Structure 1
Amino acid sequence: MNILEEIQNCPVEWKELGEVCEFKRGQSLTSKNAVFGDIPVISGGKKPAFMHNESNRDGETIVVAGSGAYAGFVSYWKQPIFVSDAFSVDIKNSDEVNSRYVFHFLLNNQSKIYATKTGAGIPHVYGKNLSKFKIPIPPKKIQEKIVQILDKFTDYVTELTSELTSRKKQYSYYRDKLLSFEDEVYQVEWKTLGELCDVRDGTHDSPVKQSFGKYLITSKNVKNGSITFEDAYYISYEDFEQINKRSKVDVDDLLFTMIGTVGEIAHITDEPNFAIKNVSLIKPADRTLARYLFHYLQSTEAKKYIAENKSKGSQVFLALGKIRNFPIPYVSKTIQSRIVQVLDNFDKVCNDLNIGLPKEIELRQKQYEYFREKLLTFVAEGEYTESRVE
């Protein structure tokens, strides 16, 4: 008998999440008051906010982020943690309900959890909003079998992600090695970025948001080597044209963040259709130099320069003058091309969503989400029209 047949023949009881779980708020803790240790502090983001030397949750714990942009984000921890600006979802009776079953149920309802956000300024998600969610509870044995199937997918995604992280570290190592020129094999001439390229910045004004028009890109839209239009907003065609008189973005330009998270970089490879605000615009003479600078400006040496020269106030920024004075090890076009070829291959393997590990991770994640939805829907409704699941 396969899992679907077992589910079909078993009783399912519907309960409110608040009947089977307790929502326990975290404790306030700032990085300033923390004592550095090996305990992750879980707050309002997708990753630990910082580390601390003591925990307030041990064992396996479901956590929901309490506030901020990722309020409602669900995570599962198999180690001691400190829950801060978040709340844990604790199983009241572990003899009847499997915590991983509840975790997969919450992930299947992640969008609904996000939809419970309240607050005009900083959004919040509260346990009381989740307590009314209805969860189908089959017998514990069936819960465990469902968890076993779904955990195979999540474990595989975790393994692939770990492998990808290792490859990115390898890429960083070879990038730093190639761009350090320690062996003195090549003739290196140190120049400033301003000597090699036209360096300017985007508008400092705040154009009025529009319901349609052209995108305005800011520092938050430059991530992981590319542009994301998530949370970008439209401006009028008139404002777009006005900004472009000062800082028009072209193919093979580089965007370099100078406010907030300083040092994120993107290489523009497609015809741009946006304007920029508070972002440095670097205009190399050709694609080879663009790719060479793209890699160098992410190197450990470049990050040292950024750390030493960025402002130390509440609003972190790297002044345009400092960016223009960025020291660059300049080598011949032939050597640039060789370095770019090696590093581009590494970069492609690590980040191209169409090949290798990134593609495999994406496919396995979609596969997990597909079977999660199908299995949990089957538990709830007793219907499943797709192929056999063992």
Structure 2
Amino acid sequence: MTKIEEMLAELCPNGVEWKELGEVCVVKTGQQINKTFIQNNLGRYPVVNSGKEPLGFVNVYNTEDDPIGITSRGAGVGYVSWNEGKYFRGNLNYSSTIKDSNVILPKFLYYFLKNSFKAIENLCTFEGIPALNKSNLEMLKIPIPPLKIQEEIVQILDKFTEYVTELTAELTERQKQYSFYRDKLLSFEDEVYQVEWKTLGEVLIKGRGTKITAGQMKSLHKEGAPVRIFAGGKTFADVNYGDIPDKDVHSEEAIIVKSRGIIDFEYYTKPFSFKNEFWSYSSENELINLKYVHYYLDNNKEHFQKIANNMQMPQISSVDTEKYKIPIPPLPIQERIVEVLDNFDAVCNDLNIGLPKEIELRQKQYDYFREKLLTFTAEGVYTDSTVQTRPD
């Protein structure tokens, strides 16, 4: 029997009292705010509104020591946040202000609400703009265990949170280190070795995509199918041979240029195709390491993004890449740069090794214990796993 179970058996052997959120908290909407107001009132107080990150920072605040927020509208509807100190709560965020801290602790309530994301999601409507109605939120059932148990749970979950935060901060530092060395390796400012500058059109072979709609990609997608079709952003469809014309399927190592919306360069070595407004680059030149070229293009995306942002719809043309010059050091240098950056990238981003794997495992462990710690039996309701009476 765990310490929490022992405390539950001693302090509430018949189960835990439950109340509606509106009974223990005051739920209110924040103040109207927009980007114009933020631009005209820049300051140090974060604006907590509908996103997971602050909408901006202003020189006034309307909230202090009232940390729990719940997004009321938009794509992040139902998201529960913890915001300490002074900040500005926007009109797309509900406060959940505890009426009596002798009944329920703010941090305990926060952890319970975070663990209740599915229940909160069920209260939301998704017709049109996703929304969470205040009266529905106020009816959400909340357990009220004794304060001693709440304090113990908060202490345990705080330790888990702190550990994950520390690991994430360390990973962020490593990613900064990776960015520094990547920039250094790909700048060629020191001219330690001879570099030849050539356009992509001179050294690479351009490939064409396939004519396909988003709807067709969705209907053709089959999990595990051998041919991947790329669209904008992170969108793709895996299809079988024969689902698109054979002439549109590429099997060579290539860089796919995502030329509309979010400009990006995708390196790929398996069978693929892509929407026909994109293009790809491959190489038959034995003195070119294509993955090196990908690293260089990816490190200079900002150049192409600036070109794209000058258009009504963000996009670049094949001319923009064809005439773009890249540095070509000797092949052993290209290979060494790829080796170094691959190792850095694996340490920083590979979910199977290093810190990313450790963070993933710790987060799963945290989620598991959070759910276990915050699962209570109501008064008068019994389960096989519930300690119903105090042992003799």
The interval holding the TM-score normalised by the smaller chain is 0.7 to 0.9
Tell me, yes or no, if the aligned pair for 1:72 and 1:114 is still in contact at 8 Å.
Answer: yes
Q: 1:323-367, CA deviations, whole angstroms, 9 ceiling, x for partnerless residues?
A: 333332222211110001111111000001111110110011011
Assess, with a 3 A threshold, how the Cα gap between structure 1 residues 49 and 360 changes in structure 2: closer, same or farther.
Answer: same
- Specify which of 120, 123, 136 is matched with residue 116 of structure 1: 123
SS in 1 for 2:298: coil
SS in 2 for 1:70: coil
Q: Give the Å deviation of 1:120.
A: 2.9
Q: 1:173-221, CA deviations, whole angstroms, 9 ceiling, x for partnerless residues?
A: 0000111111101211222233333345656763535774227643231
For the pair shown, which has the larger CA radius of gyration, 1 or 2?
Answer: 2
Q: 1:70-112, CA deviations, whole angstroms, 9 ceiling, x for partnerless residues?
A: 2222221224333333323222222321111111111111133
- Equivalent position of 2:375 in the other structure: 377
- Report 1:142-291 matches (<5 A): 142-199=149-206, 202=209, 206-209=213-216, 212-214=219-221, 217-221=230-234, 240-242=243-245, 245-246=247-248, 248-250=249-251, 252-263=253-264, 265-272=265-272, 275-276=274-275, 279-285=278-284, 289-291=289-291
Tell me, yes or no, if the aligned pair for 1:71 and 1:117 is still in contact at 8 Å.
Answer: yes
What is the CA–CA distance in structure 2 between the aligned matches of 1:42 and 1:203, rounded to whole Å?
43
TM-score normalised by structure 2 residue count: 0.82
- Specify which of 314, 318, 325 is matched with residue 323 of structure 2: 325
Assess, with a 3 A threshold, how the Cα gap between structure 1 residues 135 and 38 changes in structure 2: closer, same or farther.
Answer: same
**Which region of structure 1 is more displaced relative to structure 2, 336-345 or 182-191?**
182-191
- Please provide the CA RMSD for this pair: 3.2
- Specify which of 32, 35, 41 is matched with residue 31 of structure 1: 35
Q: Give the Å deviation of 1:245.
A: 4.3
Q: 1:291-319, CA deviations, whole angstroms, 9 ceiling, x for partnerless residues?
A: 213322232xx144124312335532233
Q: Give the Å deviation of 1:278.
A: 5.1
**Which region of structure 1 is more displaced relative to structure 2, 206-215 or 127-136?**
206-215
Identity of counterpart residues, as a percentage? 41
What is the CA–CA distance in structure 1 between the aligned matches of 2:276 and 2:316, rounded to whole Å?
14
Assess, with a 3 A threshold, how the Cα gap between structure 1 residues 24 and 321 changes in structure 2: closer, same or farther.
Answer: farther
What is the CA–CA distance in structure 2 between the aligned matches of 1:128 and 1:201, rounded to whole Å?
54
Assess, with a 3 A threshold, how the Cα gap between structure 1 residues 261 and 115 changes in structure 2: closer, same or farther.
Answer: farther
- Specify which of 48, 51, 66 is matched with residue 45 of structure 1: 51
What is the CA–CA distance in structure 1 between the aligned matches of 2:51 and 2:278, rounded to whole Å?
24
Q: 1:199-247, CA deviations, whole angstroms, 9 ceiling, x for partnerless residues?
A: 456567635357742276432316xxxxxxxxx6788987x515x745x
**Structure 2 stretches lacking a partner, 5+ long:** 223-228, 387-392
Is the aligned partner of 1:63 residue 2:69? yes
Assess, with a 3 A threshold, how the Cα gap between structure 1 residues 359 and 241 changes in structure 2: closer, same or farther.
Answer: same
What is the CA–CA distance in structure 2 between the aligned matches of 1:79 and 1:150, rounded to whole Å?
21
**Structure 1 stretches lacking a partner, 5+ long:** 223-231
Q: 1:107-164, CA deviations, whole angstroms, 9 ceiling, x for partnerless residues?
A: 1111332333324333223333322221111122211111111111111111111111
Assess, with a 3 A threshold, how the Cα gap between structure 1 residues 355 and 208 changes in structure 2: closer, same or farther.
Answer: closer
Q: What amino acid sits opposite 1:121 in the alignment?
A: G
What is the CA–CA distance in structure 2 between the aligned matches of 1:97 and 1:278, rounded to whole Å?
56
What is the CA–CA distance in structure 2 between the aligned matches of 1:73 and 1:293, rounded to whole Å?
40
